[in-house]
Structure 1
Amino acid sequence: MLEVEGLIKKYGNQYAVNGINFSLEGGEVVGLLGPNGAGKSTTMKCIVGLLRKTAGEIRIGGHDHLSVEAKKLFSYIPETPHVYDLLTVQEHLQFIAQAYSVSDWKQKAEHWMEMYELIDKKDKLGRDLSKGMRQKVSICCALLPDPKVLFFDEPMIGLDPKAIKNTKRIFRELKEQGKTILVSTHLIDSVESIADRIMIMKDGNIIGNDTLSNLKASFNQENDASLEDLFLELTKDE
């Protein structure tokens, strides 16, 4: 569903992403981990077209990532959720439904608003929402068109414990439906239980890309070592 080949993003002479290659299959949840400045958000923004890549090829569902065909296949939830000040919560969902030609959108919107406890906030304007509420609206808008690929950049930041639990459950349900999910996060424990595969970035490079058990075996980590232990070992300064 996603193919990234030789992706480079440079700022002047500085490589933010240094020629990385990876692919994601349908029905797969992949955790993208790395310290600050590793290139996680830059990679994701290049994939979804918010940043112009310096070099490389990116295909989503076999289509160039900047094509309309590709854009119909994915949803992106940014680290900092952006909402329209003068649209209500429900109007945000209506806007997305009309943009993606979602049928029976009211019923689907109600389902997601109920999941994230937004029913009683549906007439509240975007400018009056807390960061956590904005994050919930952003997630609901991303889920409404039923995309085949979802890109989550720090999805758990600002969410309350119940919303985090619901989001993890939704990830599992989407995976069972054959959806592809890429989750970039600092909260290592939030992906350890749901990710099929872990990609670890450092200094613009992918230094690990495998299942957790295989990564532990590759780097001589004990079986009882946590993902956090492995992450700290791989990303420590030499």
Structure 2
Amino acid sequence: MLIVNNLVKKYGKQNAVDDISFELKGGEVVGLLGPNGAGKSTTMKCIVGLLRKSSGEITIGDHHHLSLEAKKMFSYIPETPYVYDMLTVWEHFQFVAQAYHVEDWKEKATELMELFELDDKKDKLGRDLSKGMRQKVSICCALIPDPQVLFFDEPMIGLDPKAIKNTRQIFRKLKEEGKTILVSTHLIDSVESIADRIMILKNGKILGNDTISNLKKQFVQEEGSTLEDLFLELTKDE
């Protein structure tokens, strides 16, 4: 569903993303972990076309990642949620539905508003929403077109505990429906219970790309080790 081959993103002489390759299959939830500055957001922005890659090839569903066909297949939820100041919450959903030519969207939008407790914010303008509310609106907007691939960049930041729980439930439901999800996060606990596979980045390079259990066997020998132990072992300074 997603193929990234030899992706490089340079800033001057520095490689923010340093020749990485990976694939994501349908129905797979993959966690992208790494310390600050590891290249997680840069990788994701290159995939969705918000940053111009220096070199490499990216395809989404066998389409070039910048093609209209590819863009119809995915949704992207950025780390800093952006909403339109002068649109209400409901108008955001209407705008997205019309942009993607989604029919019968109102029932799904209503269900999402109930799930994220946005019912009483339906007529509130974007400029008046808190960061957490903006994040909820951003997630709902991403789900309305029913995309095949979803890119979440720090989706839990700013969400309250109930919204985090609901977001995890949505991940599981999307996985059951065969959707492909790439989740970039600092919150290791939030991804451990839902990810089929983990990719760990450091200094723009992939240090590990496998199931959590396989990575633990490979890099951490202690019994009862956690994903956090694995993460700290792989990303420690030499």
Amino acid at match of 1:162: K
Could you say which residue in structure 2 is the equivalent of 1:183?
A: 183
Shift of the alpha carbon at 1:107? 1.0
Q: Classify the secondary structure of the residue corresponding to 1:75.
A: strand
Could you say which residue in structure 2 is the equivalent of 1:163?
A: 163
Could you say which residue in structure 2 is the equivalent of 1:222?
A: 222
Amino acid at match of 1:194: I
Q: Give me the whole-angstrom Cα distance separating, in 1, the residues matched to 2:29 and 2:219.
A: 22
Q: TM-score, normalised by structure 1?
A: 0.99
Q: Which ranges of structure 1 fall in alignment gaps of 5 or more residues?
A: none
Pair 1:18-2:23 in alignment: no
Q: Classify the secondary structure of the residue corresponding to 1:166.
A: helix
Q: Classify the secondary structure of the residue corresponding to 1:156.
A: coil
Q: Give me the whole-angstrom Cα distance separating, in 1, the residues matched to 2:79 and 2:220.
A: 33
**Runs of 4 or more above 2 Å deviation:** 220-223
Q: Classify the secondary structure of the residue corresponding to 2:83.
A: coil
Q: 1:221–1:230: 8 Å Cα contact kept in structure 2?
A: no
Amino acid at match of 1:172: R
Q: Give me the whole-angstrom Cα distance separating, in 2, the residues matched to 1:115 and 1:149.
A: 21
Identity of aligned residues (%): 79
Q: Give me the whole-angstrom Cα distance separating, in 1, the residues matched to 2:223 and 2:182.
A: 25
Amino acid at match of 2:86: L
Could you say which residue in structure 2 is the equivalent of 1:78?
A: 78
Q: Classify the secondary structure of the residue corresponding to 1:42.
A: helix
Indicate the larger mover: 202-211 or 99-108.
Answer: 99-108
Shift of the alpha carbon at 1:119? 1.1
Q: 1:150–1:181: 8 Å Cα contact kept in structure 2?
A: yes
Could you say which residue in structure 1 is the equivalent of 2:31?
A: 31
Q: TM-score, normalised by structure 2?
A: 0.99
Q: Classify the secondary structure of the residue corresponding to 1:98.
A: helix
Q: Give me the whole-angstrom Cα distance separating, in 2, the residues matched to 1:193 and 1:160.
A: 18
Q: Which ranges of structure 2 fall in alignment gaps of 5 or more residues?
A: none
1:48-72 deviations in whole A, cap 9, x for unaligned?
0000000000000000000000000
Shift of the alpha carbon at 1:108? 1.2
Between Structure 1 and Structure 2, how many residues are aligned? 238
Q: Classify the secondary structure of the residue corresponding to 1:175.
A: helix
Matches within 5 A, 1:223-238: 223-238=223-238
Could you say which residue in structure 2 is the equivalent of 1:128?
A: 128
Shift of the alpha carbon at 1:221? 2.8
